[in-house]
A = this chain, B = another copy of it.
Amino acid sequence: MKEFELINRYFKGRGISRRDVNLGIGDDCALVTVPQNCQLAVTTDTLVEGVHFFEDISPRALGHRALAVNLSDLAAMGAEPTWVSVALTLPTIDSQWIAEFTEGMHEIAEYFNVQIIGGDTTQGPLTITICAKGTVPEGKALRRSGAKVGDWIYVTGPLGDAGLAIEARKQGINIDPTHLEYLNNRFDYPTPRVAAGQVIRGLATSAIDVSDGLLADLTHILEMSQVNAEINVESIPTSEAMKASLDFNKQLPFILSYGDDYELIFTVPDNNKGMLDLKLSQYGVDITCIGQIKSGNGKIELLQNGEMFNFEQQGFEHFTKEQV
């Protein structure tokens, strides 16, 4: 199959058509219109086989995941996802594989009203790079640098599930089949917190998504905001599957440092707490307060039942540790 046929068959004319796309797939560039009084938010993430996923991942899950991790960055800025470019490097043309991969991608794109406006298809080791674009009202984007002393620290959803799913496969951890199915779904089909990101915009002072682990990602907020954080470890939300599978101490590496959950961490001033609870309950988004911002210059203090304890931080850092 030629490149043009491949693009035409699996991408062109598939998925949603947004009215702000003036020219989609099929020319040298796509043309889109950014609404007045909005900024354009841009993010790029690459997934490499053997590094970010293994050969055994289902193509549908991979298509979903590749887009989800990018939409998660837009969510963390409070942006509305709009358009994506998909660069797909494939070792061979396997029509069944590509059909499932693009189905997974189109499903999540449609769910979030995102249009695939272009891309590139090349031959080589399996790699997917997506550049996702979104819009955000001028000056309203959530940055990492806005956390203030006294702000409360929140997370969406439970943490650690994606990591437990991976380690269960690698180490053969004994997990109840129902829980395992849930955990695998959390890794394969992460849900970017797009609605939560837009709801907390205007109420939160900073936000980031959990891609490298709670401690690593929270540290980015703390360093950019020049503050410290106090985290109550027992407050961090975990799933039934996590609770049923591991003792609390064995849960900690997954909860604190594994990453890949694509939940949001954000900070909220005390006087916005009431409005936050109200708005999030309207949208059915679960959030949990896990600590508070303190004065300092980028450090995290972990408390367990009010007592300080030490935990060696290990985020997902390219080129420095064994890759997931």
Residues of A within 8 A of B (CB): 1-3, 6, 22-23, 26-34, 36, 39-52, 73-74, 76-77, 79, 83, 85-87, 89, 93, 117-125, 127, 129, 131, 133-134, 136, 138, 141, 143-145, 207-209, 224, 317-320, 323
Q: What are the 6 tightest A-B residue pairs by CB atom distance, in nearest-first order?
A: A131-B131, A48-B124, A129-B129, A28-B76, A29-B41, A44-B85
A22 with B50: CB separation less than 8 A: no
B46 with A40: CB separation less than 8 A: no
Contact of A48 among B50, B79, B89 (CB under 8 A): B89
Given the contacts A28-B208, A31-B41, A120 and B3 also touching, CB distance less than 8 Å: no
List the B residue with the shortest CB-CB distance to A45: B120
B30 with A43: CB separation less than 8 A: yes
Complex: how many Å from CA A50 to CA B123? 10
Given the contacts A87-B129, A125-B124, A323-B123, A30 and B42 also touching, CB distance less than 8 Å: yes
Name which of A30, A39, A141, A318 has the most chain B CB atoms within 10 A of its CB. A318
Given the contacts A28-B73, A42-B133, A127-B89, A52 and B122 also touching, CB distance less than 8 Å: yes
List the B residue with the shortest CB-CB distance to A32: B40
List the B residue with the shortest CB-CB distance to A197: B28
The count of identical subunits is 2
Least Cβ–Cβ distance between A62 and chain B, in angstroms: 15
A141 with B43: CB separation less than 8 A: no
CB-CB < 8 A to A26: which residues of B? 144, 224
Least Cβ–Cβ distance between A212 and chain B, in angstroms: 9
Least Cβ–Cβ distance between A56 and chain B, in angstroms: 18
Complex: how many Å from CA A89 to CA B74? 22
Show 28 residue pairs from A and B whose CB-CB distance is below 8 angstroms, ordered by the A residue: A22-B39, A27-B144, A27-B145, A28-B76, A29-B42, A29-B74, A29-B134, A29-B141, A30-B41, A30-B43, A31-B40, A31-B41, A31-B77, A31-B141, A33-B40, A33-B138, A36-B36, A40-B40, A42-B117, A46-B129, A49-B124, A51-B122, A51-B124, A85-B131, A87-B129, A121-B318, A124-B125, A131-B131
